[in-house]
Structure 1
Amino acid sequence: MKTKKIITTQSLMLLAMGFAGCTGPGGTGYNPAVPGTSSALGQTSQILGAANQAVQTGQQAVNTAQALQTVSLTDLLAQQLGVTQTQAQTGAGALFQLAKTRMQSETFAQLEQAVPGVSSMIQAAQQVQQNSALGGMSSVPGLSGSTAGNLLSTASLFQQQGMSANMVQRFIPVMVDYVTTHGGTVLSNSLNAALLGQ
């Protein structure tokens, strides 16, 4: 019985020493006298490394969001609709030109401030109009009445640039979303109402 008791007591002492070595002074987890405790430092380094990587990943996400904020409208139209830069510029210019005739001058001035290059887009559309007779105008699918009539010349300009008439309807939501991001909901609602005749 005494032998078993002595062995048990020694075992408990060794176990206690092991725990003391794992915690170590200052809670670092490292004790040079106990082999293997340096692995705790390695785990701590891995955790810090992972945390640092997470911070960097978060910063990359912020940078990506900021980059999206700086994407031009023509770039966005080209990316989302598969049109060329020229088609994007001319199509957007035609729609902005239409909106300008239906929006209050103060509101359209705010739009020009929110969307860089509006005036150059309108000039590109006007240049196309001047260089073509705009014959054979087609209706815009899904629209009727006065709204369709107001968009007839716009649809023809799209066709002059090698796009179908229904691309007009695909341009509008992209442009409205862009204005929402850069100018706010009130301004984008005004643009949407002007383009759709609401």
Structure 2
Amino acid sequence: MSEVEFEPQSPRLFIPNFLSLNECRELEFIHKSSSTVGYRPIVFSTTLSHLIATNSSHFIIPFIPIRERLKDKLEEFFKCEYELFIEFTGLISWSRGASIGWHSDDNRPYLKQRHFSDVLMYTADDHNIHSVDEITEGERLTLALWFSRDGSHDEDMKLISLLSRHLLHDNMADSYLPLPASSNMYWFSKDQASNNQFGFNIMLG
């Protein structure tokens, strides 16, 4: 396929190799480490708000440049007169047996703020009905982003608010930064253990 595929009646932007192999591997690692059951039993999701709520805020960092690159491409291609807002960012994996019927991404009243979707970019309305065939082998991992013209649905403002509340509650302003693990992290030190515990490998517990 060409880098840009455009159909006047249902415009779509296709950018092959938008993510590098390293970015894909990093996102897959984050998803495998942090996902939770999604909106159906064999679909799993990792959302940015979930990462904050589970003390994994540092995992948001790789998403930042990807989201900005996508937003810039989208605004340029669709000739957006005003800035778009990212409404939702998430990783969604589809296990064997999962599928979803034909739908548009704004097909519920509470989703009408969604105007554009995903890395294969298209309008979220009924001009771009699509589906996911049943997964018969392996796993389908999707980086899903929805964009909105409505600033009240700006995901970034919600994430900043959630992150601020979370960090203030824990009183740990730097808790979202990853720290190197101790070389003896599975052993009690002298000042932490009684004589009976000294040298006990807590992994066995």
Q: TM-score range by the shorter chain?
A: under 0.3
Higher relative contact order (CA 8 A, sep 6+): 2
TM-score, length-scaled by structure 2:
0.23
TM-score, length-scaled by structure 1:
0.23
